[in-house]
Structure 1
Amino acid sequence: MTGEPPGSARSAADRLLAVLAAFDHGHPALCLTDIARRAGLSLTTAHRLVTALTAWGALERDGDGVYHVGLRLWEVAALAPRGLALRQAALPYLEDLYEATHENVQLAVRDGAEVVYVEWLSGRSAVGVQIRVGARWPLHATGVGLALLAHGDPGFQERYCAGPLGSFTPHTLTDPARLRRTLADVRRTGTAVSDRQITDDALSVAAPVRGPSGEVTAAVSVVVPHETAEVPVLTPAVRLAARGISRALGWRPGRSGG
């Protein structure tokens, strides 16, 4: 049986979080045995923790005995200021950007060295993307990620650029010097362009979203087919959406970062 090694010093909180971390986009439904294996816990410990989480509402058990993330956990997550509140403020501007382009529109925030997508509007005939709400990608490989990284702490930027930089297509930015130049261009122009970095057929144009003090808190982008992309046409629309969301969050021109 897979479980913790003898003498393990993992705290009760660590074990509880390990159970929740067993669920991800690739594993949204798990049986108890799978939870124990993915969390690195004994079956007995996993059963005790899963029972407690289910009683609280963080997990739900269906008729087949399979566990899913529960609504109570979603209710708590919705309180995150970079989650539901941000999405609600941004949605009217995301919808406007979608109506102007009829392409994929995305809103994302930074979490460590990754970008996390908090909203996504998809067009029926838009280019296919490997994105959904809650998905994560390395910062250097996406337009929103480049916009966020470019406005991050200089020390963090340097550590990130030093690598390693994962590659997904032949076009992914993996050269530290080239990435540094790209980030400088993003700061200079106010927009980021990610061309075929995750898939060979998509290009994204992104712009930073600012909070009340002018700090960059999120980024918005539109993703279009590479072959038909017209960056000069898309750029004003994306920047207008970013500016509208920033205003909705309390930013005003002339403040820091404005």
Structure 2
Amino acid sequence: MNVKQQSKAVQAASLTPSQAGVGLLHKAFELLNLFQVDQANWSQSEIIEITEMSRSTVSRLVRYLVETGYLAEIPKTGRYSLGMAAISLGQRAEAGFDLKSFCQPALAELAEITNETIVLTAFDRKAKSAVCIDQLEGERGGLRVFEKVGAAFPLHAGAAPRVILAALPVKEQDAYLLGELPAFTPRTLISPENIRKDIIRIKDDGYCLSIEETYLGAAGMAACFTGPDNYPAGSIAIAFPLHNMDDVKKNNIGIEIARIAESLSQKLKA
């Protein structure tokens, strides 16, 4: 959903009785929700056009949000971005949010469907890596694809990291692919051209399949889930021995992973 669609969805949402007396607060959140990764700054005229609020309402809200630090005016441009108060609020929310516990039902569902090892990763934005934060060993052999919880892989290597790479804005993908792309096995994708081709497949299919890219004898299948800002939050994946490949394909596990990941995304946005 793009910014305009999101704004219209907020407008369309009817206020409950408990919300009826906080119309201005509702408008303030609608305004703040415009500020997304793919459009991080807005002018007042743009806000008026997309929200269809009156000029006086937007002016009053923007002035208040600047005074309280939730918006910051970009000098000499007439445009605004999220301010330090908004950043601090996000950091406090992130610190108090337990992604592992939140995703437990999804991991359990996928484990029951597949009987294979299930891996949950979180996206480390600073390190540009996928960090394993939980792992459920499968009943069909207990294959482990991370040495331990807390282990990380760069975004190009394997299914669980690469679905996160595929969900990033194109500019960030391009910047990442200009860097070093280490190989973990002879089958790790390290060619930017081949990685871009696989990103296209991921977008078409909704999931990524990798074979022996991080561990010989093991394959993986993963889908990415996104946070409230539509930015990748992590991935949910299964890892399985190559000799189980036919069963995995036959049972359309990729479709199930994509469905479960999309469900996580919707719950994170709720």
Which bin holds the TM-score, normalised by the shorter protein?
Answer: 0.5 to 0.7
Q: Are 2:239 and 1:220 aligned? A: no
Look up the equivalent residue of 1:241 and give its one-letter code. Answer: I
1:231 aligns with 2:249: yes
The 10-residue stretch of structure 1 (150-159 or 217-226) with the greater mean CA deviation from structure 2: 150-159
Structure 2 CA distance for partners of 1:81 and 1:133, relative to 1, 3 Å: farther
**What residue number does 1:11 align with?**
none
Residues 181, 92 of structure 1: alpha-carbon distance in 2 compared, 3 angstrom cutoff: same
Structure 2 distance, partners of 1:91, 1:81, is 18
Write the deviation string for residues 231-251 of structure 1: whole angstroms up to 9, x where unpaired.
Answer: 352112212221232233235
Equivalences, count = 173
Q: Deviations over 1:95-154 (max 9, x none)?
A: 111111111111112223211111111125232323422111111112121110011132
Q: What residue in structure 2 maps to residue 35 of structure 1?
A: none
Superposed, 1:1-258 pairs within 5 Å as 81=94, 85-111=98-124, 112-124=127-139, 125-229=141-245, 230-231=248-249, 233-250=252-269
Supply the distance in 2 between the matched residues of 1:248 and 1:88 (Cα, whole angstroms). 13
Runs of 5+ consecutive residues of structure 2 not aligned to the other structure: 1-91
Distance 2:212 2:197 in 1: 18
CA contact (8 A) 1:87 1:119 kept: yes
AA aligned to 2:255 is: P
Contact 1:116–1:136, Cα closer than 8 Å, also in 2: yes
Structure 2 distance, partners of 1:151, 1:191, is 11
User: Structure 2 length as normaliser, TM-score?
Assistant: 0.59
Give the number of the structure whose residues are more often helix, by fraction. Answer: 2
User: Can you list the C-alpha shifts for 1:207-236, whole angstroms capped at 9, x where unaligned?
Assistant: 111223433221110111122213352112
Checking the alignment, whether the CA contact within 8 Å between 2:219 and 2:240 is kept in structure 1 is yes
SS at match of 1:141: coil
Rounded to whole Å, the distance in 1 between the matches of 2:223 and 2:113 is 16
Partner secondary structure for residue 137 of structure 1: strand
For normalisation by structure 1, the TM-score amounts to: 0.61
Aligned equivalents of 1:197, 1:160: Cα separation in 2: 18
Residue pair 2:121, 2:132 contacting (<8 A) in 1 also: yes
> What are structure 1's unaligned runs of at least 5 residues?
1-78, 252-258
- Relative to structure 1, the CA distance from residue 193 to residue 213 in structure 2 (aligned partners, 3 Å threshold; closer, same or farther) is same
Higher mean C-alpha displacement, 227-236 vs 133-142: 227-236
Moved over 4 A (4+): none
Distance 1:242 1:162, change over 3 A: same
